[in-house]
């Protein structure tokens, strides 16, 4: 039951998961099970009360003993993902380690990000494939997941945009709290943002 990850992933995940590591009843969904190695790691890494699900299109994954729950289906289909999310009772963390194809990543993201809990985290791995599999050395293809994610940062300032054409993902701008870029990884955090307004210094108290 192997698990192949880029060497820098451990450092990245230590940063991303620092607020989730000891949280009880965390609900985690991983897209892409393969041999089950990362599912077993997640089981050991997070609190024992966590609910960990994996989805994969390969029915052979059901034979794996990962200590987690595995469901078979297409991770780009809204009906399937909604059913799994409902079974989980909601989701707090999503890790997309599936096909690595931009179109699949986009479809999964646009279904699952709105279903994340407030304060939830959505991670997409192995985004070198936005270059290796799809761009074929071209400097910029707007529909790769990496480049589309860069445009999605504009949603963080959506209220100030003066153009209407949307090159970003189809999500509610006020639900996107941050987008973080790492080597081969992008992490989106969900959180209700206030409509931008300026407050006087006497009312401003840093958290």
By C-alpha distance, which of 47, 34, 43, 13 is closest to 121?
A: 13
Residue 146, judged by CB atoms within 10 A of its CB (0-12, 13-18, 19+), counts as buried
Structural domain count, the chain: 1
- Assess if residue 204 is contained within a domain: no
Query: Is residue 118 helix, strand or coil?
Result: strand
Instruction: For tokens 């940063």, name the residue.
Output: 15
- Assess if residue 173 is contained within a domain: yes
- The two structure tokens encoding residue 32: 């892409």
Does the annotation count 100 as an active-site position? yes
pLDDT tens across the length of the chain (207 residues): 556 665 677 899 999 999 998 899 999 999 999 888 899 989 999 999 999 999 999 999 999 988 999 999 999 999 999 999 999 999 999 999 999 999 999 999 999 999 999 999 999 999 988 877 665 655 567 788 998 999 999 888 888 877 656 678 999 988 999 999 999 999 999 998 776 666 655 555 555
- Assess if residue 135 is contained within a domain: yes
Set 22, 47, 100, 207: catalytic member:
100
Sign of CA dihedral 98, 130, 142, 136: negative
Query: Is residue 115 helix, strand or coil?
Result: helix
- Assess if residue 43 is contained within a domain: yes
- Assess if residue 76 is contained within a domain: yes
Instruction: For tokens 């966590």, name the residue.
Output: 50
How many other CB atoms are found less than 10 A from the CB of residue 113? 20
- Assess if residue 38 is contained within a domain: yes
What is the span of the domain harbouring residue 96?
Answer: 23-193
- Rounded-to-integer distance, Cα 34 and Cα 72, Å: 12
- Assess if residue 12 is contained within a domain: no
- Assess if residue 27 is contained within a domain: yes
For residue 61, the domain's CATH number is: 3.40.50.150
């Amino acid at each position: 039951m192997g698990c192949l990850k880029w060497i820098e992933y451990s450092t990245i995940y230590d940063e991303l998961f620092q607020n989730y590591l000891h949280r009880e009843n965390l609900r985690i969904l991983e897209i892409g099970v393969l041999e089950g190695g990362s599912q077993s790691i997640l089981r050991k890494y997070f609190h024992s009360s966590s609910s960990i699900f994996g989805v994969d299109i390969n029915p052979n994954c059901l034979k794996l003993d990962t200590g987690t729950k595995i469901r078979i289906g297409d991770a780009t289909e809204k009906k399937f993902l909604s059913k799994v999310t409902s079974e989980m009772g909601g989701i707090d963390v999503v890790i997309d380690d599936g096909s690595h194809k931009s179109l699949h990543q986009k479809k999964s993201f646009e279904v699952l990000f709105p279903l994340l809990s407030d304060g939830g985290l959505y991670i997409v791995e192995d985004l070198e494939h936005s270059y290796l599999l799809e761009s074929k050395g071209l400097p910029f293809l707007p529909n790769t997941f990496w480049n589309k994610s860069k445009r999605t940062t504009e949603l963080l300032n959506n209220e100030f945009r003066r153009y209407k054409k949307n090159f970003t993902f189809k999500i509610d701008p006020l639900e996107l709290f941050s987008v973080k870029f790492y080597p081969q990884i992008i992490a989106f955090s969900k959180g209700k943002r206030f409509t931008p307004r300026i407050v006087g210094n006497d009312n401003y108290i840093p958290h």
